[in-house]
Amino acid sequence: MQDEYRTVAREGVHETEVNRSRFLCALAPAATEREAQDFVARIRKEHPTASHNCFAYVIGADAAIQKAGDDGEPGGTAGVPMLQMLTRRDMRYVAAVVTRYYGGVKLGAGGLIRAYGGAVGEALDALGTVTRRRFRVATVTVDHQRAGKVQNDLRAAGRAVRDVRYGDAVTIEIGLPDADVDAFRGWLADATAGSAVLELGGEAYGDA
């Protein structure tokens, strides 16, 4: 598994103009290929009179799924440069649609490649990206007396507290990088006089 990946911070649209052609790049996070396809279909529906609605998406932390489409532009001049821009920026779980409104001036193959790839790059800069890091889901079970202090200490140390459940004891779910597990185990034993129980779960990705 990848230790980290980048994705777009939010859904949005950024417009550029090249030789009187308008290029609107819509970007969105997409957790699955179906989400990416639904996003592409939605943008196409929003721009039925556009000359072209070209797309690219990358799904999976290891970029396992990569698709691109030229929507009538000369082969390889739109979707592929869009995809290359996403992968060059290490973007994952993201879908991009560039909508072109033709302005009457032909751009040629090189111009199209620069325009479509550039539209994605500028949109990424405008909307911003976030880094997601791999961590292990860990559960700390502690008695009610110590729970408040443990939670405060976790937050003060910058640990991401994902969930807190109250029952006979208090269960605190956190994200823990693999490299920190041993040190955290020692810290927890010291902080709770050995009374807390640490259980390690599966892996997930979260904010850096």
pLDDT in tens, 75-84: 899 999 999 9
Q: Is the pLDDT of residue 1 over 60?
A: no
Quick check: 130 pLDDT over 90? no
Asked whether the predicted pLDDT for residue 134 surpasses 90, the reply is: no
Helix H, strand E, coil C: the string for 86-139 is HHHCCECCEEEEEEEECCCCCCHHHHHHHHHHHHHHHHHHHHCEEEEEEEEEEE
Mean pLDDT of the region 43-47: 95
Out of 3.30.70.240, 1.10.3720.10, 1.10.760.10, 3.40.50.2300, which CATH number does the structure's domain 131-207 have?
3.30.70.240
pTM as predicted = 0.70
pLDDT tens by residue, 167-206: 999 999 888 877 788 888 888 888 888 888 888 877 676 6
**CA triple 83-87-91, angle to 5 deg:** 105
Tell which CATH architecture fits domain 4-127: 2-Layer Sandwich (3.30)
- Res 52 pLDDT > 90: yes
Nearest to 4 by CA among 128, 127, 92: 92
What is the mean predicted confidence (pLDDT) over 137-164? 86
Name the amino acid, one letter, at 174.
Answer: I
Banded model confidence at residue 67, pLDDT cuts 50, 70, 90: very high
**Domain limits, the chain:** 4-127, 131-207
* CB-count burial class (<10 Å; 0-12, 13-18, 19+) for 152: exposed
Sign of torsion over alpha carbons 88, 121, 39, 98: negative
Write the single-letter amino acid at 78: A
**What does the block give as tokens for 145?**
């007396």
Instruction: Name the β-bridge partners of 130.
Output: 7
